[in-house]
Structures are given as C-alpha cells and as structure tokens.
Amino acid sequence: MKLLLLRCPRCNHALSPDQDDQVVQCPNCRAAVAINEAGVELVNAHYAAPSGNPSHWLPFWVYLGQVTIRERKTQGGRSAEQEAQAFWARPRRLYIPAWGIDLRQARDMISLLIQKQPSLEAIDPPAGTSFEPAVVTPADGRKLLELVIVSIEAARKDWMESLDYDLRLDSEALWLFPATRKGNEWQLLLKKF
C-alpha cells in the first residue's frame, strides 16, 4: 500500500478529498488539484463565462472529438442515415459531466451540449468561488459518452437496428461550467448557450 501526502502542489495546504474524488479544489489557493496513484498535480481548469449568477461551478471533461459512423443498419430507409452522417461529419466539442450526477441527467445534459455546441469563453476564476469535485475519470466518462452517441442515433426516426462507429477524442480539458440547481435538476448558465 502506498501512502500519499495530500497537499496542494501550489501552496502546500492540506487537502481532504473524499474517497472517489479525482480533482478537488484547494481550500486555500483555490487551485484545481488532480489526485491519482502517482500523487497530486495541478490541473489547468477553465471557468466558462456565465449568463447569470451561478450558485455552483460544475466540472466537465471537454474534448474536441470526431465520431465516424462506419455502419448504421435500420429498418426504415436512408434519410436518417444521411442525417446522421451529416451531423457527425465535422469535429465537435464533446462533454462529460465529471461530478456525481444521476445517469439520466448526465445523458440528457451531454446530448443537449453535443447538439447545441455552446461557445465556451474562458474567464478568470471568479473570486471566492468553489467547484464540485470531479469524481468521473476521463476513461469512465468515455463510456458514458459512447452511451450518449448511441442514444442520439437511436432517437432518429428510422428504427435503428445496429450502429458501428469510431470515436476519437483529442485535446482533453477540464472546464468549470456555471450552474444553478432547481430541485433535483441542474441548469447550466453558459453565456453563449
């Protein structure tokens, strides 16, 4: 068993993450700190410009990615297949919620973000803000992203039978999105959404 000294690499302040936390915020200098088997390291976290007054900042893994559909078998014609090819024809930003969120909400949020493609404008970290710890690793997030890609394709109006595709993810970045919570649902407050 390896014991890790959990101190912020920037200011040496003690960190007290929960068991599943992958990225936490230093309570002293507010830096984003990744925790892994090798130890701790600073993470460059980008704050997205808000459209209102957020009560929370939520971590997302954001990629520039490309989905290439190799084969899409259906029961009802080719119009949806052509629509799918056109939709995925260019690289897109792909989003993975990284905090502890219900699977249904995560799926719906990812689908909305992929289809809307909001413009992300980075801002300086707002004074005194804190973000939810990231508990989803990029590897686990990829599995969720694959589920969403299949969900987007299954929602087309052609009775999809099977889907074979390639997913390439580039330029991984941690973004902190402004949000408010209404009941059990999250509402993102992105400036250009």
How is residue 134 annotated by DSSP? B
Note the pLDDT of residue 192. Answer: 74
Q: Tens-of-pLDDT digits for all 193 residues of the chain?
A: 455 678 999 999 999 999 999 999 999 999 999 998 888 999 999 999 999 899 999 999 999 999 999 988 887 666 677 888 899 999 999 999 999 999 899 999 999 999 999 989 999 999 889 999 999 988 888 889 999 999 999 988 888 888 999 999 988 899 999 999 988 889 999 987 7
Whole-number Å distance between alpha carbons of 5 and 25: 16
* Per-position DSSP letters for 150-174, written without gaps between them: HHHHHTSTT-EEEEEEEEEEEEEEE
SS3 state of residue 94: strand
Note the pLDDT of residue 47. Answer: 97
**In contact, 99 and 136? CB cutoff 8 Å:** yes
Calculate helix-pair angle for 138-154, 103-116, nearest 10 degrees.
Answer: 70
Whole-number Å distance between alpha carbons of 63 and 138: 10
Amino acid at 182: K
Every domain of the chain and the residues it spans? 23-187
Encoded tokens for 80: 């949806």
Note the pLDDT of residue 76. Answer: 63
Closest CA to 167 of 61, 84, 63, 78: 63
Note the pLDDT of residue 3. Answer: 56
95, 110, 157, 189, 193 from 52: Cα distances, Å = 21, 21, 36, 6, 12
